[in-house]
Amino acid sequence: MRLGLMGGTFDPIHYGHLVIAEVARVEFGLERVLWIPSGDPPHKPGQVHTPKEDRYAMVLLATAANPWFEVSRIELERPGRTYTFDTLQTLRGAYPEAELFFITGADAILEILTWRRHEEVVQLCEFIAATRPGYDLRRMATMLPAGYRARIHTLEAPCVDISSTLIRSRLEAGEPVRYLLPEEVETYVRKRGLYGAPAWRAETAHAK
């Protein structure tokens, strides 16, 4: 089995995440994509995250319609910091015959030498590094060892210039976020009052 792994804080999940996961699934023949919301990511020290159960619920809502997507609680239930190495080691034990493909952004891959036990990480899985059209791939050639680059596949996904930071800022400012993230996720955000989002000003507009 070829199993895709889509990790992240997903705070909140948005269409950019979903597009990358689906394009990777099709182009690399992945039989399933396992979404892994992070618990306490070490690469974002001091950053306050939305409670993990809310982030998990939003990922469930966003991925429910895709039969090839599944959501895992593996990092949410692990105490302490959540490291990619620990997650991959656990999944390797759970899926001993699977080919594991970790899906992430090209910029994140450039930081792999700072990851905990990165020498072992690159042996546990292969990587799918999502890039935007025009991204300078020469950076990988100059910043990563050849053995690492051999385990990295690049994926040019449709340009969806959306970020969780942008969505949080717009919600806090009372600006619209429709079509940036799934409607079910926006509804959840507003019902839970996440990101300082005000309630819809005109409920009747949504009833039409």
pLDDT digits (tens, 9 = 90+) for 166-175: 999 999 999 9
H/E element holding 98? Answer: none
Confidence bin at 133 (pLDDT 50/70/90): low
Confidence bin at 42 (pLDDT 50/70/90): low
Q: To the nearest whole number, what is the mean pLDDT of the chain?
A: 90
Residue 99 contacts by C-beta under 8 Å, 6 or more apart in sequence?
1, 2, 3, 126
**Whole-number percent of the chain with pLDDT over 90:** 75
| Residue 91 vs residues 61, 85, 171: alpha-carbon distances, Å | 23, 10, 35
pLDDT digits (tens, 9 = 90+) for 51-60: 999 999 999 9
Contact between 61 and 185 (Cβ < 8 Å): yes
Residue identified by tokens 């990480």 is: 121
User: Which is more confidently placed, 160 or 36?
Assistant: 36
pLDDT of residue 205: 44
User: Which is more confidently placed, 132 or 204?
Assistant: 132
Q: Is 145 helix (H, G, I), strand (E, B) or coil?
A: coil
Spell out the domains of the chain, with CATH numbers in brackets: 2-162 (3.40.50.620)
130-142 average pLDDT score: 80
Q: Which residues pair with 33 in a beta bridge?
A: 4, 69
pTM > 0.75: yes
